[in-house]
Amino acid sequence: MSLINSWVASANAANHPFPLNNLPYGVFSTEDGEPHCGVAIGDMILDITTAEAEGLIVLTDEPLFDLPFWNPLMEQGPAVWAALRARLNSLLADGSEEQGQVEPLLVAQSDAEMHLPFAVSEYTDFYAGRHHAQNVGTMFRGPENALPPNWLHIPIGYNGRASSVVVSGTDIRRPWGQLKSPDHDRPAFLPSRRFDIELEMGAIVGTPSEGPISVQEADDNIFGYVLLNDWSARDIQAWEYQPLGPFQAKATATSISPWIVTKAALEPFRCDTPAREHELLDHLKDCGPMLYDIDLSVTMAPAGKPATTIARTNYNQMYYSAAQQLAHHTTSGCPMNTGDLLGSGTISGPTKPERGSLLELSWGGKEPLTLDTGETRSFIEDGDTLTLTGSAKGDGYTIGFGDCTGTLLPALDDPYKR
């Protein structure tokens, strides 16, 4: 597929993240205005809430965009998703007869504040990147025991906190927690000293399900994808994780990018999962290309200073696809809801510059990074801004997600003081 031209001129640049081929969904507001559903096109946002109110978009008998989140559309299913995409193409394509009606509904992205694009029902995070799991396992258990026995057979995950999911640009407060150093007999309650990021993708469930579903059905139920930063307090995690895994170490915040990139926009970039050592059981087997070729990167910027790119990798490094993760999630009969968010797990590649967390990049703090500013980092320091970016490159166009950014604020002096 090549670039589809739009009458919105800024959408036609080959490196712009929001061409007509993309049409990602978000929620925005302008000064003194209520949040509305919007679609990014070039440097602008098409106000979908107003377009529906004025009759330019009619998909169902009842309005879908009168609330400031995309869940009502998501639960309609693939036929209505496709109908909206077709209608947007007809409104925004070069030569559209309705340009005059649509143009007044465009808002400059520079004038907009972005909000969470959907109401997060529940959040599950996985541990499904082979290189990340191998690196972390090697650090803590040695290379011969790096992967748990089940890792090559099922996507391992844990249930996280939907209430902690925030949109890009939200500041993150360094958490307090119970820590225990190896040279101390007892734990202490202190601010985290080893605060980290995890570069991930997030898959959003659109169509709900009851009971087990196949990998193909799971893929059909996924509405779209966002960039996801699973902020992680490694020292809290090290003390708490046995025997039940992460808990408070992962509960501080999960940042997502402001735009939902639909599965339809990513269709040209499908690719296969990596070769497997062991054949998966039938209910988890690949049924076609289920991953996507999406370049990813992470930058770190100390307060008031320029950013340094600290990692570059690709979503195609995942061992399990989001469809396999979703299918596995349902095997117990677990219902999945519209707005459920599935974190991919940290995405790392086979070489050091491709590692998607500071834990790996600094090898547990033993090999600090040197930034372009000359400063060194093993983990995040107060005032540092971390930014995740992602894009897929087509024939003369780019599919982008918008940045996923957060700045770390100092821990509270007393977390219980009101």
Q: Which amino acids are annotated catalytic?
A: 132
Residues 19, 393: contact at Cβ < 8 Å? Answer: no
User: For residue 271, what are the β-bridge partners?
Assistant: 291
Which residues, at least 6 apart from 351, have a Cβ–Cβ distance to it below 8 Å?
Answer: none
- H or E, element range at 74: helix 71-74
CA distance 117 to 130: 30
Angle (CA) 308 204 22, round 5°: 65
Of 291, 416, 395, the residue nearest 347 (C-alpha): 291
DSSP 333-358: ---B-TT-EEE------SSGGG--SH
Alpha carbon separation from 217 to 122, 201, 266 (Å, rounded): 19, 20, 18
CA distance 174 to 127: 23
Whether cis (ω within 30° of 0) applies to the bond prior to 19 is no
- H or E, element range at 87: helix 78-92
Residues 401, 390: contact at Cβ < 8 Å? Answer: yes
Dihedral, CA of residue 215, residue 132, residue 228 and residue 216, to nearest 10: -10
| 46 exposure class (CB count in 10 Å sphere: 0-12, 13-18, 19+) | buried
CA atoms within 13 A on the CB side of 145: 4
